[in-house]
Structure 1
Amino acid sequence: MKNRVLSVDIFRGMTIVLMILVNTPGTWGHVYAPLLHAQWHGYTPTDLVFPFFLFIVGTSIALAYQNKKTDSSTYKKITIRSLKLIGLGIFLGAFTLSFPFFKDFENIRFPGVLQRIGVVFFFASILFINLDWKKLIAISGILLIGYWLLMVFVPVEGVASTLERAPNNLANYLDVKVFGTHNYRPDYDPEGLLSTIPAIVSSLLGIFTGLILTSKQEKKTTILFGLGGAFLILGHVWDVVFPINKALWTSSFVLVTAGWANIVLAIIYHLTDVKGIKFGSIFKYAGANAIVVYFLSSFISKLFGLIKVDGENSLHGWLFQTIYVHDFMPMKLSSLLYGLTVVSFYCLLAYVLYKRKIFIKV
């Protein structure tokens, strides 16, 4: 990639590693609180992980498409990549061990993490190659404010809107109407239809950071810290009337997570690109094949859950109980060690792929 920035590669890989860690505990019944999502409003460190990835998608768009022409070949590449991501996500949701290896149609979940990445990548890329940064700022503001107004002021079948998990939550209502049973839960989907609108802004804010990193501006670290601090303040102020909420991907959530993303990236950028300190290579390796590593981790994790040992326990459960559960060890620690083992495996895989110069583009 032209204009490659080491800190961006490290941040991308770090995010993927964290995504794998929070998705694969030994048991969901015993997980340390920081590795769980917030129950509804508010956020934990885990709630930062997915928006961080969408943010870095935007930063990567700025690095990769800064000088691209708006011709048919560029649009074709963007569209094909988006469809690949959406297809991989639907495959993950549809796969099962029973022939013909796909769930019945009514049991397939259409929304998902990779699907959202694909949709966000498509719209953020198209907007970036066609509009200047001033117009992108205006669109970001319009989308965030518009989403707030929709969620708070638009009634649902004559009933005043709510931001709780209820039939008159507009995002939930539209997901049920459009997708029917194809949702994460009957009453909400964290990658739902309407909440994808502010998720696009998560990527657009990452684009601004990418433009800063490739600009001739001095004191980029200071600028990123300042931008991150401003986003955090604005997000927490907005939280008073539009609560920070990952499941709904509220506008305040977009600003707060973008704020933390800028601060974390600023620290990594200062250490690596400014000071030249070598660290985080393992994250760079994971970042080089980020989507492939994430897809494999999700697919294999699903297989481990589906494969039965002795006709009862899943392979995942059997491995956890046999290797990691001991009387002298707290269950939460056992569960964390299982997750860290999974992460270590994929870090090793990413290292091997990188050293063999195998880079699989999705």
Structure 2
Amino acid sequence: MSRIIPEPVVPSVLRDRIQAVDLLRGLTIAAMILVNNPGTWSAIYAPFEHAPWHGYTPTDLIFPFFLFIVGCSIAFAYRTKSPGGATYRKIVVRSLKLIGLGIFLGAFLIAPPFVKAWEAIRLPGVLQRIGLVFLLAAPLALHLRTRPLIVLTLVLLLGYWIWMGFVPLPDGSAPNYERAPNNWAMYVDKLLLGTHTWQEDYDPEGLLSTLPSLATCLIGVITGRFLLENTVDKTRKLLLASAGLLVLGHLWGLVFPINKALWTSSFVLVTAGWALLALAVIYYLSDVRGLVWGRVFTYAGANALALYFLSSFFAKVFGLIRVGDTSLHGWIYQTVYDHDFLPDKLSSLLYALTLVVIYLAVGTLLYRRRIFIKV
């Protein structure tokens, strides 16, 4: 008979330091760097690509995982804080910093005039979405208990479904979930953002789809609060919640397709289900069994947003610097990795893995020097 190891009751002095969340944050930022930095975009293994439209791949899980972890972190950081001017100022300042850094990444050039023309600047983006979601989620976590947060999350998901699927557009046409002008998310982005989007007709981090991405973060807040509870058997409960969300998400996907670009409500449930599954496994290994593993990811997670910004910044710089008829990025890839004896996709992956190792090393160095960059 197998021996059942009881889960420990978390002492109050340790409840704000759940190892599993730190590990999952580091693993997620490593995955973000991996999928964003292939040697060449023309040679990528299928799991490292986004779904063309409906459906999802492992890569489509990464950004929702990070927003989920942001929610967990909000639960830990704001559980003892009281609403007030100083707290709100910190929330607003941090949100504006994230939004500003994201816009900077999309706007800067390394040669005069050093900034793109205004009409060519993309205003949405990953850091911008994190900033907006944090700006909304942190005050909600300050003011609402868990049950109202659950109700609000359901309202956001159901309301988004009704808006996207049943509300006629201003011209009277029926909405749909395809990449078309009568898709509400695309309509709102085109109306409010104009040319400041990733594609001419839409942006995967657009304005309307920020509402369901807030729901992703709030599920993280709810999960974080659960982890802080003075209770046992957390792994089993996380697994049950994971299974429930995965089943509900896929069933909902039959009528409201799972789609990252639109951040559909079914996508929220499915990705949150996978996040809970990953968290449950890591929690059991690290916080229940006490296994010491993956410290490098914990170190990286302590400066996750700073590492993401640095990786994005240098990726762009390397892409802009010209070396002959290619970029510095292209020259390094062709010189070091692109060889006839290696498959193209493997060469491209090795380049990305090298960058992951470099940034994990940077994260480790920052952690050991007790440098924590608050973005």
Q: Match of 1:316?
A: 329
Structure 1 residue runs of 5 or longer lacking an equivalent are none
Q: Match of 1:288?
A: 302
Q: Match of 1:56?
A: 69
The 8 Å contact of residues 15 and 228 in structure 2, kept in 1 or not, is answered as no
- 1:209 maps to 2:219: no
Q: How does 1:192-231 map to 2 (within 5 A)?
A: 192-231=206-245
- 1:299 maps to 2:313: yes
- 1:246 maps to 2:268: no
Letter of the structure 1 residue corresponding to residue 318 of structure 2 = F
Q: How does 1:23-34 map to 2 (within 5 A)?
A: 23-34=36-47
Structure 2: distance between partners of 1:158 and 1:315: 50
Q: Match of 2:87?
A: 74
Q: Match of 1:35?
A: 48
Q: Match of 2:185?
A: 171
Q: How does 1:80-99 map to 2 (within 5 A)?
A: 80-99=93-112
TM, length-normalised to structure 1: 0.99
Structure 2: distance between partners of 1:190 and 1:309: 32
Structure 1: distance between partners of 2:200 and 2:177: 16
How far apart are 1:2 and its partner, in Å? 6.9
Structure 2: distance between partners of 1:220 and 1:68: 25
- Render the CA deviation track for 1:248-278: whole Å, top value 9, x for unaligned: 0000000000000001001001100110001
Structure 2 residue runs of 5 or longer lacking an equivalent are 1-13
Letter of the structure 2 residue corresponding to residue 114 of structure 1 = L
TM, length-normalised to structure 2: 0.95
Which aligned runs of 4 or more in structure 1 are off by greater than 3 angstroms? none
Structure 2: distance between partners of 1:162 and 1:128: 33
The 8 Å contact of residues 2 and 64 in structure 1, kept in 2 or not, is answered as no
**Percent same amino acid at aligned positions?**
59
Which one of the candidate residues 201, 219, 232 is aligned to 2:246? Answer: 232
Number of equivalences: 361
How far apart are 1:198 and its partner, in Å? 0.2
How far apart are 1:121 and its partner, in Å? 0.8
- 1:140 maps to 2:131: no
Q: Match of 1:117?
A: 130
Letter of the structure 2 residue corresponding to residue 324 of structure 1 = Y
How far apart are 1:186 and its partner, in Å? 1.0
How far apart are 1:98 and its partner, in Å? 2.1
How far apart are 1:100 and its partner, in Å? 3.2
Structure 1: distance between partners of 2:213 and 2:297: 24
Which one of the candidate residues 262, 269, 274 is aligned to 2:283? Answer: 269
Structure 1: distance between partners of 2:288 and 2:227: 11
CA-atom RMSD, angstroms?
0.9
Structure 2: distance between partners of 1:99 and 1:39: 36
- Render the CA deviation track for 1:177-207: whole Å, top value 9, x for unaligned: 1010100001221000000000000000001
